[in-house]
Amino acid sequence: MDAIRINGGQIIIYGLSFLSLILVNNVMTLVLFSYLGCSFVPMAIVLVIYGFLLLCWSKYSRKSKTTSETKPDRKFLMDALRSVETSKIPYVVDRFLELDKAGETTEEQEERISRIPLDSCCVVCLSSEACIRTLPCSHTVTCGWCAWQSLKISFENGTPHRCVICRTEIEDFTGSLIKNLMNIKWKDVRKIVDEIKE
CATH number of the CATH domain containing 95:
3.30.40.10
Percent residues over pLDDT 70 in the chain: 43
* Domain closes at, from 38, 68, 98: 68
Domain coverage including residue 32: 8-68
> What integer is the mean pLDDT of 147-162?
83
Q: Does the residue 76 lie in any domain?
A: no
Domain count within the chain? 2
- Residues 97 and 64 grouped into a single domain: no
> What integer is the mean pLDDT of 73-98?
65
- Residues 36 and 134 grouped into a single domain: no
pLDDT for the residue 166: 92
Output the CA torsion sign for 153, 158, 163, 167.
Answer: negative
Query: Residue 2: pLDDT band by 50, 70, 90 thresholds?
Result: very low
Q: Does the residue 31 lie in any domain?
A: yes
Q: Does the residue 107 lie in any domain?
A: yes
CA distance 8 to 17: 14
- Residues 109 and 171 grouped into a single domain: yes
Residue 195 has pLDDT above 60, yes or no: yes
- Residues 97 and 121 grouped into a single domain: yes
Q: Does the residue 88 lie in any domain?
A: yes
Q: For 159-189, what is each residue's pLDDT tens digit?
A: 888 888 999 988 887 776 555 544 455 566 6
pTM listed for this prediction: 0.46
Q: Does the residue 131 lie in any domain?
A: yes
Residue 3 has pLDDT above 50, yes or no: no
- Residues 51 and 120 grouped into a single domain: no
- Residues 120 and 183 grouped into a single domain: yes
- Residues 91 and 60 grouped into a single domain: no
pLDDT for the residue 1: 41
Q: Does the residue 18 lie in any domain?
A: yes
Q: Does the residue 22 lie in any domain?
A: yes
Residue 27 or residue 161, greater confidence: 161
- Residues 190 and 107 grouped into a single domain: yes
> Which of these ranges, 23-32, 49-58, 129-138, 184-193, has the smallest mean pLDDT?
184-193
pLDDT for the residue 108: 77
- Residues 127 and 175 grouped into a single domain: yes
- Residues 182 and 118 grouped into a single domain: yes
The most confident of the ranges 40-54, 63-77, 122-136 is 122-136
- Residues 103 and 155 grouped into a single domain: yes
Output the CA torsion sign for 64, 70, 181, 81.
Answer: positive
pLDDT for the residue 182: 45
**196 and 91 Cβ atoms separated by less than 8 Å:** yes
Sheet with 132-135, edge to edge strand ranges: 140-142, 132-135, 172-174
- Residues 109 and 31 grouped into a single domain: no
